[in-house]
A and B are shown apart, each in its own frame.
Chain A
């Protein structure tokens, strides 16, 4: 009796595994996406499923985890990813975790041509490009104009006048933004590690000297919003969304593009090397960049979109934010992140550690 039960148990388990395997081979209705929080609103996912029949599984993440996870599986486990454009070519070279994009399958008509070209150029490896632009944004300053009227550029965050009232992230954008603001061109130095190290050493000194101004190095968005809202912090380096959100609550607070130029990022669509559902991945890219869908996303999350005609579908107050904070002359002045050569981030990391550990 016991034996029979045991054999049945083993058979059941084996059977269920085999069955699962078989069904996976015949049809794959699931699209597994690893993306940022807010990039895949449920309404759009439902609409996508309705139109195409593909179900979408979303995993929320960030650039670093996206790379780590895909690296651990050598490009498997997800069918579509949304890394920033500057985080693609180097990981393709090192770990080959993405596959080239077949642009013939992308509806390029609906994409802003200049963004598409820039992304293609930045993700070029061995003559092939690896990404399609989706969302863009900037990092600049969020300032309480009543309390800190003189903050116009990143370097003003070092002003002793605002001791203990300033906050920024201890991450690479701060090093770079501060660099531009103090007259360097960090992106130009990327190709020369020795010169870049010298630049980093300068930044280390300046940021350690500027430590008394800092209340805390913010680490997550809620923390920053809370400190600005309670007026514990008067000026911070942050994204335009934080500024616009607070502007709606307190007109004194707003996003300002630094005089030396805001730092611009583009998040893209990239296809992992072992994507198991290419059809669904391309369909999803085209779907999300349709003007109506892109506008739905921008209205909801207030991020700029690479979809060319989405502007026609934007809510008026969202449109107002863009005209106030990101007018054409500001957009023209943006320092777009280039691809980071290998080793640079480690150098930056050491500098950031030293700054944090310093008294």
Chain B
């Protein structure tokens, strides 16, 4: 019996150690190194807060962050608003067979990379693109209009690329919603909007917050979509980090930006959770 137990312990160590090493060497250590870099001066290696102060002193940096965070919140909100009726339709209205097919339709675009999806949009929307060709040929437009390279297109692209991550958790909780609750509310005099407000949205709150956190982080951390679809005015905060590290070799500044992004986005999520009275533990569950 004793011997047997020793065996299990060895086996456990054998498989557990790589996981610990993996986590420590590839995730914890690099982050600690980045944290150290963010507090040191570029060439001398001395301790400094300059990298963090630069963020607050240089308007271009924090304005970019405010812009990025603001647009991320807007995108998250739009995704929520769209995914609610979409999930309701898939989960409650259509037959099971069709709802499976619809789920696949939502999933399929995510089988290809973000880059290809964005290029797809560009082919559709560009001045010499398919939509323009169509609108001109039916006489709706006199001449082609550039639909790319503006904030609205960029938001649309971000909404599209992050839709799935909201729809899936919301469908998950929507499936648990007892249809008779909706009927009971209807029976007790609730209008359609009141049913959404008092029954469906509160029921789906955990899924919405769950998806909201994923979408917010995803959008905040996205690089390709704002860059390619946003065009000449779209400076995204991730681009600043990329530029600092890759273009200007200022790892210290880039590391500081990275940790600021982490800290500020966590702060925003915390504030939003507080405001919506959601509990992170419940959401993660």
**In their complex, do chains A and B touch, with some C-beta pair under 8 Å?**
yes
Chain A residues near B (Cβ < 8 Å): 2-3, 6, 9-10, 64-65, 67-68, 71, 91, 94, 164, 170, 211, 214-217, 219, 223, 230-232, 342, 345-346, 349-350, 353-354, 356-359
Given known A-B contacts A3-B7, A94-B43, A214-B232, A357 and B227 have beta carbons under 8 A apart: no
Say yes or no for B64: interface residue by CB 8 A criterion: yes
Which interface residue of A71, A345, A350, A356 has the most chain B CB atoms within 10 A?
Answer: A356
Nearest CB of A to B61, in Å:
8
A214 / chain B contacts, CB cutoff of 8 Å = 232
Chain A CB within 8 A of B146 CB: yes
Tell yes or no: B216 within 8 A of A by CB. Answer: no
Is B225 engaged at the interface, CB distance under 8 Å to the other chain?
no
Bits for B232-253, please: 1 = Cβ < 8 Å to A, else 0. Answer: 1111000010011111111100
User: Given the complex of chains A and B, what is the CA–CA distance between A71 and B234 in angstroms?
Assistant: 30
When distances are taken between beta carbons in the complex, the residues of chain A under 8 Å from B231 are 215-217
A345 to B250, CA, bound (A): 10
User: Are A357 and B60 within 8 A (Cβ)?
Assistant: yes
Q: 23 interchain pairs (CB within 8 A)?
A: A2-B11, A6-B7, A68-B245, A164-B146, A170-B232, A214-B232, A215-B149, A216-B231, A216-B232, A217-B232, A230-B126, A232-B127, A232-B146, A342-B43, A345-B249, A346-B250, A349-B244, A349-B248, A353-B60, A353-B64, A353-B240, A353-B243, A357-B67
Residues of B within 8 A of A358 (CB): 233
How far does the alpha carbon of A9 sit from the alpha carbon of B146 in the complex, in Å? 62
Is B178 part of the contact surface with A, judged by Cβ < 8 Å? no
Most buried by A among B64, B67, B247, B251: B247
Range for the number of chain B residues in contact with chain A? 20 to 34
Q: Which residues of B lie under 8 Å from residue A65 when comparing CB positions? A: 246
Q: Which residues of B contact A (CB under 8 A)?
A: 7, 10-11, 14, 43, 58, 60, 63-64, 67, 126-128, 146, 148-149, 227-228, 231-235, 240, 243-251
> Does A357 lie within 8 Å of B64, measured CB to CB?
yes
Assuming the contacts A6-B11, A231-B128, asked whether A345 and B247 have C-beta atoms less than 8 A apart, the reply is yes
Chain B neighbourhood of A342, CB < 8 A = 43
Q: What separation, in Å, do the CA atoms of A68 and B249 have in the docked complex? A: 7
Q: A216-B232, A353-B235, A356-B232 are in contact. Are A6 and B128 (CB under 8 A)?
A: no
Q: How far does the alpha carbon of A3 sit from the alpha carbon of B3 in the complex, in Å? A: 10
The A interface is mostly helix, strand or loop, or mixed, namely helix
Smallest CB separation, A7 vs chain B (Å): 10
For A345, give the chain B residue with the smallest CB separation.
B248
Give the one of B58, B148, B227, B232 with max A CB within 10 A. B232
- Is the Cβ of A356 less than 8 Å from the Cβ of B235? yes
Whether A216 contacts B148 by the Cβ 8 Å rule is yes
Query: Which residues of chain A have C-beta atoms less than 8 A from B60's C-beta?
Result: 350, 353-354, 357
Chain B residue at minimal CB-CB distance from A220: B228
Residues on A with beta carbons closer than 8 Å to the beta carbon of B232: 170, 211, 214-217, 356
Contacts of A94 in B (CB 8 A): 43, 249
Q: Which residues of B contact A211 (CB under 8 A)?
A: 232
Sorted nearest first, the 6 A-B pairs with minimum C-beta distance are A230-B128, A216-B231, A357-B235, A64-B246, A346-B248, A356-B235
Measured between beta carbons, the chain A residues less than 8 angstroms from B64 are 353, 357
- The CB with the most chain B CB atoms within 10 A, among A345, A350, A357, is that of A357
Identify 15 new A-B residue pairs, CB closer than 8 A, beyond the known A6-B14, A349-B247.
A2-B11, A6-B11, A64-B246, A64-B247, A68-B245, A71-B249, A94-B249, A217-B232, A219-B227, A232-B128, A349-B243, A350-B60, A357-B60, A358-B233, A359-B233
